[in-house]
Amino acid sequence: MIPDDLNPAQKEAVSHEGGPLLVLAPAGSGKTRVVISRLLYLFDRHGWADDRILTVTFTRKAARELVHRISRVRPSSRPTWVGTFHSVAARMLREHAEKVPLPREFTIIDGADQKQMIKDLLARIGVSEKEADPKSIQGRIGKWKTSGISPEEALASSFGPFRLQSELYGAYQESLRLQGALDFDDLLLTLVRCLEQNREIRETYQNQFEHILVDEYQDTNALQEKILRLLSRDRQNVTVVGDDDQSIYHFRGAEVGHILSFPREYPGARQVVLTVNYRSTRPIVSAASAMISSALSRYRKEMVSTGRTGDPVLLRRLDSEWAEARFVAQSIQKKVSEGSMFRDQAVLFRMNVQAQPFVKTFSDMGIPFQTRGAVEGFFNRREVRDLLAYLRLSVNPLDLTSLGRILNVPPRGLGDKAREKLEAFSRSAPASARELLERLSLDLAGKSRDSARALATDLEEAERKARQGEGPSAILQFWIGRTGYESWLSESEDSDSGKGRPDNLRELVRMGERFESGWTPQNGRTPTGVFLEELALTQEDPGETGESPDRVSLLTIHQAKGLEFRHVYLAGAEEDILPMRSRDKMDIEEERRLFYVAMTRARESLAITWCLTRQLFGRTDSSRPSRFLLDLPGEVVAGDRPVLDARPSSLRRQTAGAVSGQSGHAFRLPSPVHTLSRNGPSSSTGEVTGPGPIRPEWVGRKVIHPRFGTGRVEEAHGEGGDLELAIRFDGLGIRRLLERYANLRVEG
C-alpha cells in the first residue's frame, strides 16, 4: 500500500495512524506524491468510499491534477470531495441553500462586479469617487469579512473615515442579499456561520468525513481555519501539509501563525519533516536554505539535495533595468543555443510593473514570451462580461447588477433615465429582473416601452431554457442571436482595440461546448449554473493558467508559486523592491519568504540580478542590493556579491562604489569572482541584532486586549519585563505591545 521508493520521512507521513498530523514539506520535497500516497493509503487501509475524505487544495488546478493522478493509480476510485476552500464552500452552501437561506443558483460575483456595486452605492448617496475610493472600500470590506466582522460590528467600532466604509458595508451586503449573490469572501463567511449556527448541517459533514486533508496549509486565512475546525471531529481526523517558509499570501488574509501553532491547537499532533529536495541542484538548495534560515519565526529544517551538482547561483549587478533586461535576454538566447527550450525559462519579479523592460527587450530581440494576464484579460473584455451578464440573468433572475450592465447593451432605447427608474423600482420592492422590466415598461412609451417588454420576454425564455437543462453554449447563442450582439459589435468597433472582439464571443461559446462535453449531472444543478460557478472560481484562482507553448514566462513571484523551471532569472533583488519598503517586521519576514519561493522555482540554474539605478513609476532612483543577498553563502554563489560595509560612515563615504541607503548601512562591491568564501556580516562587525531572544511558545496564542479586542500573537521577543509581542487584532492589523503593560488575557 505504501510505495517502496518513498524515503523514510515520506513513508512516515503516508502511514500515520491516529490523531492529527502536520507534514512540513519544503519546496521540491515530493509533497504532491506524499499527499496522493496518503489518500490512497487511507482509502485502502480503511475501505472508505470516495466521498468519505475531504481534500482541500490551494488551487483548482491542483485539485484536478490530484483527482487525475489518483484515478490513474486506482481506476476504481475517483474522490468526490476535492477542491479549494471556496469551491467546497460553494458546494456545501448550494446543498443546504434553503436553510442558509440562499437561491440554489446564487450568483458568485467577482472583483469587477463588487467594485461596480460600490460605485452604484456611492452614487446613490451622492458621494463622488474622489471623496471615497471604491477600491479602498472594497479592500476594507474584504478585510472585515476575512476577520469575521459583520456590518453591525464594523459600524459599532468605526469612526472617522471608516464610518462611511462601514455604512457602505451594510448597504453592500443588503444589495447582495436582494440579488441572491455572494462574493468570494462571503462564500467562506456564510459557510462558517451556517456551520456554527446549524448543528444538523455541521454534524452531517462531521459524520460524513472520516478524514480531512488540507494542502498548502500555510496559506489558510482565519475563516478557512474555522471551517477546518468546524468540520473536523475534535480536531483529531486531520492531516495538514505545508511549509511555513512558503507563506506568501498575507495580503489575502493568510496567517502563517496557523501552521506555526498547529501542534498546540491540535493536541497530540504528530509532526513529520520532509528534508530531501528532489527538484534543485546542490548550490540552489544550499543558497535558498541559508537565506531562509535567518527568518525570525519558523520551523527549523535542514534541507539536503539529492546530490546533483550544478553551477553556482549567479549574482549580477547591472546599471539599469534596461541593462538588466538585455542581460537576461542574452542569457536566455545562450541557453536556447545550448539546447534548452524557451518554455524551460522564467523571469520572476516582485511587481508587474517590472515586466515592461523585458516585454520591450524580448520583442526587439525576437524572444517569444508569455505573461499570466491572458486568462484574467479575457474575462475582463467588455464583450465577454456582457455575454456572461446575460447568462447569469438566465440562471439567477434576481441578479440586478447583471441587468444594469446589459439594460441598454446593445442600445435599445433604455438609457440613463430608464436605468434610474429601474433602480428606484428595485429599492421600493424586491423583484426579479423580468418583473422590474415589465413594471418599467408601464412607465415608458414608444420604442423604449417595446424594448423593455421584449427584453422581459427574452429573459423569460432564457430562464426556461436554463431550468430545463440547456447548456451554456445554447443559451449564449440564443442571446447573441436575439440581441444582434455580434452584428452590433462588428459595426461599432472600427479601431484596433476592437479587433478580435467577435472572436472572443465565439471562444466563449466554445468554452461552453467544451464544458458540456465533460458535464456530469449534479443533483439539482443546471449545467449553465455549474458552468458559471466554474468560471467565477477559475478567475479567483491564482494557479489557473493555460497551456504552456514554447515561450519564456514573465511572472510575479506570487504567480510562480507552485511552478518550477529549469532556468530562473530573479530580477530586481533590491531594497524597496524585494523586500518592499515597510516598517513592519512581519512584512519583511514575508518578503524573505517570497525571495525563498522565487529561488526554489529553479531546477538547474538560478541568476539573481540587481541594478544601480532603476526607473519605476516615472521616477529614477539609486538602488541598493537586497539585504537577502547577504545571507547567501559565498561558496555557492558567483558574480557580483555585495557585502555589508560596517565601517564608520566617514570612511564609507570615501569608498568608491559604495551604494548608501536609508538604513545607515552601505553596501560595497567586491570585484567579480567565480567562487567566494563566506564573507557575510557577523554580529561583531555591524549586523543588526534582534530585540532579544525569540519566544516561539508565544507565537499563535489567542489573546484578548481590553481595547483592541481579540487577536493572535505572530511574533514574540525578549524576556521578563521586556517581552514584546506583535499581535494581529481582528480588523485592526498588527499592534506591538509590551506584555507587562498590555493587560492581556491569554486564551490559548
Residues annotated within the binding site are 25-32
Provide the β-strand partners of residue 552.
369
What is the rounded distance in angstroms from the CA atom of residue 433 to the CA atom of residue 422? 9
Q: In whole angstroms, what separates CA 161 from the centre of its chain?
A: 28
Contact 231, 195 (CB under 8 A): yes
Is 31 part of the annotated catalytic residue set? yes
The catalytic position among 11, 60, 226, 601 is 601
736: Cβ contacts below 8 Å, ≥ 6 apart: 724, 725, 726, 727
The catalytic position among 12, 110, 120, 215 is 215
The catalytic position among 110, 216, 219, 265 is 216
Q: Which grid cell is 468?
A: 430545463
What is the rounded distance in angstroms from the CA atom of residue 610 to the CA atom of residue 330? 16
Is 218 part of the annotated catalytic residue set? no
Is 621 part of the annotated catalytic residue set? no
Three-state DSSP class for 694?
strand
700: Cβ contacts below 8 Å, ≥ 6 apart: 257, 258, 260, 261, 264, 265, 712, 713, 748
Q: Which grid cell is 654?
A: 570615501
Q: Which grid cell is 342?
A: 524557451
Three-state DSSP class for 30?
coil
Read off the amino acid at residue 613. T
Please list the alpha-helical segments (H only) found in 74-150.
85-95, 111-124, 134-146
With residue 98 as reference, give the H or E element that holds it. Answer: none
What is the rounded distance in angstroms from the CA atom of residue 528 to the CA atom of residue 96? 20
Three-state DSSP class for 255?
coil
Query: For strand 709-717 and strand 702-705, is the pairing parallel, antiparallel, or unpaired?
Result: antiparallel
With CA atoms as reference, report the closest residue to 288 among 668, 5, 592, 638: 592
Contact 611, 642 (CB under 8 A): no
Q: Which grid cell is 136?
A: 479602498
Positions at the binding site for ATP: 25-32
Strands (E), 376-417: none
What is the rounded distance in angstroms from the CA atom of residue 170 to the CA atom of residue 127? 16
The catalytic position among 246, 281, 370, 609 is 246
How many C-beta atoms lie closer than 10 Å to residue 48's C-beta? 17
Is 215 part of the annotated catalytic residue set? yes
Hey, which residues are catalytic here?
31-32, 215-216, 246, 601
